[in-house]
Amino acid sequence: MTSAHPAVELAGLTKTFGPVTAVDGLSLRIQPGEVVAFLGPNGAGKTTTIDLLLGLARPDAGTVRILGGTPTEAIRYGRVAAVMQTGGLLKDLTVAETVRLTASFYGRTRPPGEVLERAGIADLADRQVGKCSGGQQQRLRFALALLPDPDLMVLDEPTTGMDVEGRREFWQAIRADARDGRTVLFATHYLDEADAYADRIVLVRQGRIVADGTTAEIKNLAAGRLVRATLPGADQAGLAALPGVEAVEVRGDSVLVHTADSDAVARHLLTRTDARDVEITSRNLEDAFLALTTGQPAVERLTTQPIGA
């Protein structure tokens, strides 16, 4: 699974649908072996970009190269495979029959039993597809994508319908493949998946890339920290007047302070008030995602989202 060329190279990619520009001059390069999360709100252009990458749609402008060739060439030689959000499966066939049938379309594949084991559904081999849950069917699609042993795997919301254990096992399998050199590009609404498993995060908004970097680098783009403490009867106005404070919210006996100077706020709480259980946390991936892809600053979200949202 090695290549002298980038695994993915998109240059000036543009796609419109009537008056709507779904992808707007997007350029992206992914190196072999990277695991890249492709994130954005609904309507950001993620699925359209993936369709262009896989040759399922043609760009109005720009170019797509996969491992140095065209999408058609990469698909023809089994160098790229995909797990999409939806895709027809023959409900009357068993899981094993589905894998064997799909394998017959390729000149060379991994053994059907191996891909079933890799996808975590070997015990479902004799079950009819129509009797599998949504998460199990998604794992079957993953097994089918593994058949040609692709160099590049493209995943569009791959863990939809899976339970927590299934999602963890799925990503463990993906990371194992990445260690062997496979490149993975995935779109997901589960930000915890991107945080835990991606080497790199690409954020898109309105068809354009607005941020590209490691998880830590993306998080750092959401400036400031959150100071939380237990303080009955907190003086909200007094806390808001402290240097660097951007927002204060009182929720029962708890106070939440968004600030650019968390040390000063914590020092004030501990020396000038009866506050206890003081916590300081950095902004998380969700904060960065909202700030960069929706234009809604994290400070604004602080006043509108309940604890734990």
Provide the 8-state DSSP code for 82.
E
Q: Is 156 helix (H, G, I), strand (E, B) or coil?
A: strand
Cα three-residue angle 183-188-189, rounded to 5 degrees = 160
Query: How far, in Å, CA of 102 to CA of 90, rounded?
Result: 11
Q: pLDDT value at position 123?
A: 95
What's residue 295's pLDDT? Answer: 57
Q: What is the pLDDT of residue 307?
A: 27
CA distance 276 to 63: 57
**Per-residue b or e along 182-201, where b marks 16 or more CB atoms closer than 10 Å to that residue's CB:** bbbbbbbebbebbbebbbbb
Q: Mention every residue, 6+ apart, whose C-beta is less than 8 A from residue 215.
A: 194, 195, 198, 201, 285
Give φ, ψ of 68 to 5 degrees. 85, -5
Task: Give the pLDDT score at 56.
Answer: 93
DSSP, res 203: E
User: Residue 92: what pLDDT?
Assistant: 95
CA dist list (Å): 13 to 54, 58, 62, 210, 287:
13, 10, 4, 15, 28
283-308 confidence digits (pLDDT tens): 778 878 887 776 554 433 333 333 23
pLDDT at 253: 95
Rounded Cα gap, residues 303 and 309, in angstroms: 12
pLDDT at 233: 94
Domains and CATH numbers, the chain: 8-215 (3.40.50.300), 224-282 (3.30.70.980)
Which portions of the chain are predicted below pLDDT 70? 1-3, 86, 222-223, 294-309
Instruction: Produce one character per residue of 228-254: b if its CB has 16 or more CB atoms within 10 Å, e if not.
Output: bbbbeebeeeebeebeebbbbbbeeee
The DSSP code sequence of 19-60 is: TEEEEEEEEEEE-TT-EEEEE--TTSSHHHHHHHHTTSS--S
Cα(267)–Cα(280) distance, rounded to whole angstroms? 11
Classify residue 163 as exposed, middle or buried by CB count within 10 Å of its CB (0-12, 13-18, 19+). exposed
**Within 13 A of 234's CA, how many CA atoms are on the CB side?**
23
